[in-house]
Amino acid sequence: MKPRTPGFWLIVATVGLLALLPMKALAGMTPEEVKMFEGYRTLAEKGDREAQHKLGFCFSQGRGVAPDDVQAVSWFRKAAELGYAPAQYSLGVRTFAGLGVARDQVKAVAWYRKAAQQGHAEAQSNLGYLFAIGGNGVAKDEVEAYAYWNLGGTTEQTDLRNKLTILVAKMSPGKIAAGKKRAIELQKEIETKIAAKSSGK
């Protein structure tokens, strides 16, 4: 009987060793990413909403763990339901796009609103955009678009000012005045909610 070549045994040994390695090591993840993921998971499982949100990002981006949109949404939802604005925004984005969850623009808008009411600029920006174009979970409403873009532009310097300028060029003076009034109302609502939250009410 002819002996097997060393190449065959080398293949067998290599496959055997690969089977013993953790899958995380095979996924191209750095030890730092895996450690970060494990740290977030430990805190998230104890109810830390910021860690839950970060764990959601780990799952969504495949950092320290294999990508899993359903798990990402699950962790974003846990943090969002605890009132964490960044997670409410992230859940709104995922729900709007249908990533890891059924696409539902009305629910997405509801999550954006929750985040926007806590002063989250990106949520305010997205709401402004949705109100400006209409038909994506909300009716077209230039006054609401103006108000949300006005708020978002005061807390985050992005292209919101340009969007607001373009919108204003299409609006009547009466609608602009109504938009300014609505922006003040929204800002007061946000300040009241933030104050109530920080006082523990």
Where are the domains positioned within the chain? 28-104, 117-201
118 — phi, psi (to 5°)?
A: -100, 10
* The predicted structure's pLDDT at residue 39: 95
Tens digit of each residue's pLDDT (9 = 90 or more) over 10-20: 343 333 433 43
Q: What mean pLDDT value characterizes the chain?
A: 84
The residue ranking higher by pLDDT, 142 or 165, is: 142
In the predicted model, is pLDDT for residue 89 greater than 90? yes
Tens digit of each residue's pLDDT (9 = 90 or more) over 29-83: 789 999 999 999 999 999 999 999 999 999 999 999 999 999 999 999 999 999 9
- Is the separation of the CB atoms in 155 and 123 below 8 Å? no
Q: Report the CATH fold assignment for 28-104.
A: 1.25.40
- Average confidence (pLDDT) over 134-161: 82
In the predicted model, is pLDDT for residue 153 greater than 70? no
